[in-house]
Amino acid sequence: MNKFAFHTMVLAFCCGVAAPVFAQDAQKKEEICFESRKGASEITKREIKPGLPNVKCSPKTGAALWYGDPFDGTVPMGKMPLLEKIPEGHAVIKPRSEKLAILPMCGTACHNGVGPAFNPPTLPKGKKPTPIPTMAGLLPGIENLQHGRGGIWCLDCHHTTKRDKLVDHFGDPVSFDQPQLLCGKCHGDKLRDWRDGIHGKRIGEFTSTGKKRWFVCTECHNPHDVQDGARNRGFIQLQPESPPQLPRGLKDAKHEKLHPIPH
């Protein structure tokens, strides 16, 4: 009995000591960097070949700096109007729904198929929703939606009864993985440019029939605060990478800030 107890103690002690060590190891190895903007999509560093990682992260800003494997964690894009000429499987995306943690709950827990009543009307007037504490908690500052200059509100983009879906022109549900089908309904010029590869980002092979990973709208733009004035150009501000080396003999770069003409 004593012997057994002793062994148990030894085992417990070892585990107690070893566990934090393993945890630390795991933390050290797991290097995650964000791709386009912070909070949109992340990528975990691993080795695809000895000495060749799938991604390199910036030690300063935590951004993805280099892709060894541009198709890491991607799935086929699915049907997209006017992109049928792309060979099967050559257009891939990273699914957004995996990133949105509470998405599976949205359509079941709170909004279980019931939308706001139209008769008698419970919809807010002037596209300004009554603040609901749960939603405000999930999305701070949503009462001042920075999108559409006060002209749109939640249910212009989110499906009325299927809350885990977005909604297109005709009231049909749109997957969170294909936000372009929704965004394009107002931003048609951008959608056209995106389809042709002029707007937005694609990585992989550059030939027009090559395999590419497409970045969808919400990977770069946050639809809830896309129009924040301080941010400029529809894109969230980022920390820049470090500046280049100063020329020999210079202590700082003040000379660059001198104007030949005072103003």
Partner 1 sequence: MLSMSSLMGTAALMVQSGDAKAAVEWAEHFQKNYRLMTAEEKAEARARLERRYSAEYGKQVSVDTTEAQPGVLMGYALNIRKCIGCRRCVKACVEENNQSRGNKPGERIEWIQVLRMERGEFSKDKMNHGYPEGLGIQVGGNAYTPAGAVLEGQYHYEPEAVPEKDATYMPIACMHCEKPPCVKVCPVRTTYRDPDGVVVIDYNWCIGCRMCMGACPYWARRINVANPVLPKEAMNPVTHYLGNRPRMRGVVEKCHWCLQRSRHSRYPACVEVCPVGARKFGNLLDPESEVSLILARKNVFRLKAELNTFPKFFYFYD
Interface ranges with partner 1 (CB under 8 A): 35-37, 50-52, 56, 58, 63-67, 70, 193, 196-208, 210, 215, 220, 230, 232-233, 235, 237-248, 253, 256-261, 263
C-beta of 164 vs 219, nearer to partner 1 = 219
Spatial distance between the Cα atoms of 213 and 153, rounded to a whole number of angstroms: 31
C-beta of 125 vs 255, nearer to partner 1 = 255
Token pair, residue 24, equals: 């630390």
According to DSSP H, which parts of 40-129 are helical?
103-105
Which of 208, 213, 201 lies closest to 37 in space, CA to CA?
201
C-beta of 177 vs 219, nearer to partner 1 = 219
C-beta of 50 vs 120, nearer to partner 1 = 50
Least separation, in Å, of the C-beta of 196 and partner 1? Answer: 5
Spatial distance between the Cα atoms of 78 and 93, rounded to a whole number of angstroms: 9
Least separation, in Å, of the C-beta of 26 and partner 1? Answer: 20
Spatial distance between the Cα atoms of 93 and 76, rounded to a whole number of angstroms: 6
Least separation, in Å, of the C-beta of 86 and partner 1? Answer: 11
Type of residue found at 249 = G
DSSP per-residue codes, 137-155: HHSTTGGG--STTTT--HH
Least separation, in Å, of the C-beta of 95 and partner 1? Answer: 19
Spatial distance between the Cα atoms of 224 and 158, rounded to a whole number of angstroms: 12
Type of residue found at 6 = F
Spatial distance between the Cα atoms of 96 and 177, rounded to a whole number of angstroms: 5
Spatial distance between the Cα atoms of 61 and 83, rounded to a whole number of angstroms: 35
Which of 182, 42, 148, 144 lies closest to 99 in space, CA to CA?
42
C-beta of 35 vs 177, nearer to partner 1 = 35
Q: What are residue 243's phi and psi, to 5 degrees?
A: -70, 165
C-beta of 20 vs 243, nearer to partner 1 = 243
Token pair, residue 68, equals: 């060894």
C-beta of 67 vs 158, nearer to partner 1 = 67
Least separation, in Å, of the C-beta of 38 and partner 1? Answer: 10
Least separation, in Å, of the C-beta of 189 and partner 1? Answer: 9
Least separation, in Å, of the C-beta of 58 and partner 1? Answer: 6
